[in-house]
Amino acid sequence: MTKSTAHTTQTARSDGLGGSVRVPGDKSISHRALMFGSLAIGETRITGLLEGEDVLNTAKAMRALGASVERQATADGSVTWVVYGRGVGGLVEPESVLDLGNSGTGARLLAGLLASHPMTAVMTGDASLRSRPMDRVVTPLALIGARFESPGGNRLPLTVIGTGEPVPMVYESPVASAQVKTAVLLAGLQARGATTVIEPAATRDHTERMLRHFGAEVRTATVADKPGAVSVTIVGQPELAGAGIVVPGDPSSAAFLVVAALITQNSEVSLHNVGLNPHRTGLFDTLKDMGANLVVENERVEGGEPVGDLVVRSSRLKGVVVPASRAPSMIDEYPVLAMAAACAEGETRMEGLGELRVKESDRLAAIADGLMACGVHVEIDGDALVVTGCGGLVPGDAVAKVHLDHRIAMSFLVLGLAADKPIGVDDAAAIATSYPGFLDDMANLGAKIEKGPDQNGTSVS
């Protein structure tokens, strides 16, 4: 870590944030809309799709697999993505390598699709994605009948040799992961019979909701002899029909603006059309436990997903214990929660964070290193992160290393708004993977931001 300089993108203590923002579309739902639309017969029209690099790479991959995926813009600025699918089992072998960029979701879900098609395909990604383990999806997909080859031990680049006769099965996942669940269910779509995934705890259910929306039969149930466990079953070889998809605002993206408003004095921010799926709202529940002035208005259902508008006002936060049972509903939000904890009064203990070690970076280490550089006391206790808050402003005056991780970058830029001296990040370009307009939205709300050059020496937007 180094002290903050004008050569990095950095934020400084701000006097107050105010205004309204419509956060970008949900990344998880955007990936699934493109993939599931490519497996449907007929036209799927998608509005609100996130146009970040991760999702755009998924769009390119589906085109390479034979689906028609087009972006249609109108004179009034509205955008609709139109997908003409090939039906379940109808994808074709790609002519070149499928590059998923930074997206673990894209890579792991796509592995499930490829596994049940009689084709050979190679997936790769950027340096960060190539370092991430794929074992958690390779293991169950091999049981279905696919084969995998990798020079790096089940890491990208990964060759997937799919099977035309996927075997239906019951798979008990050792981890609560929506990516694993979805990969297995997607492979099971082509199997003759029912494929079941048993999760140790319920994860986000966008896959189940959307598959039903397209016409698949999906059943969920609790597991009698396993407290907290859930089974999800897909009946194979359905005929999926093209359908309209409205992508709600991403609660994981909204999280950064929510925490920014909470820790910046004299702030009131409204966030419109935010997804409120109950498997995604753990952060909001935790912030309320900490004393956040966070109100949900205009709750409604759009495209099968609950949504609402958030009104957030600056608040004095207090430390809490966040149990491991809450991790599946907020696993992507722990980096920014740690920033809120750094400004709170007292100690915040976040338990059950082992999953953070296999995200875009080792997020547990990145959070701890960055906070310590900013003058905040942090401890890693096994899979728990313990942050002792400053009860207001943090010292700051540091540059956090983000390790190509968009959520780490945005989190420390949020923290800079409540720092005595500026906080910078060494690579703001990573933000474009999920929230391309983040810096502009923050600036429009009143945040003090100084943009530095990206890796190519051009202005970060």
Is residue 248 reached through a cis peptide bond, with omega within 30 degrees of 0 on the bond before it?
no
Tokens of 296: 């949900």
Q: What counts of helices (H) and strands (E) characterise the chain?
A: 13, 24
Read off φ and ψ for residue 68, nearest 5 degrees.
Answer: -95, 120
Instruction: Compute the distance between CA of residue 174 and CA of residue 434 in angstroms, rounded to an integer.
Output: 28
Instruction: Compute the distance between CA of residue 378 and CA of residue 370 in angstroms, rounded to an integer.
Output: 10
Q: Which of 332, 369, 397, 405 is catalytic?
A: 332
3-state SS, residue 222: strand
Active site residue 332: yes
Instruction: Compute the distance between CA of residue 98 and CA of residue 111 in angstroms, rounded to an integer.
Output: 11
Secondary structure (DSSP) of 8-75: SEEEE--S--EEEEEPPBPHHHHHHHHHHHHHSBSEEEEES---SHHHHHHHHHHHHTT-EEEEEE-T
Instruction: Compute the distance between CA of residue 191 and CA of residue 166 in angstroms, rounded to an integer.
Output: 5
Cite the active site residues.
Answer: 332
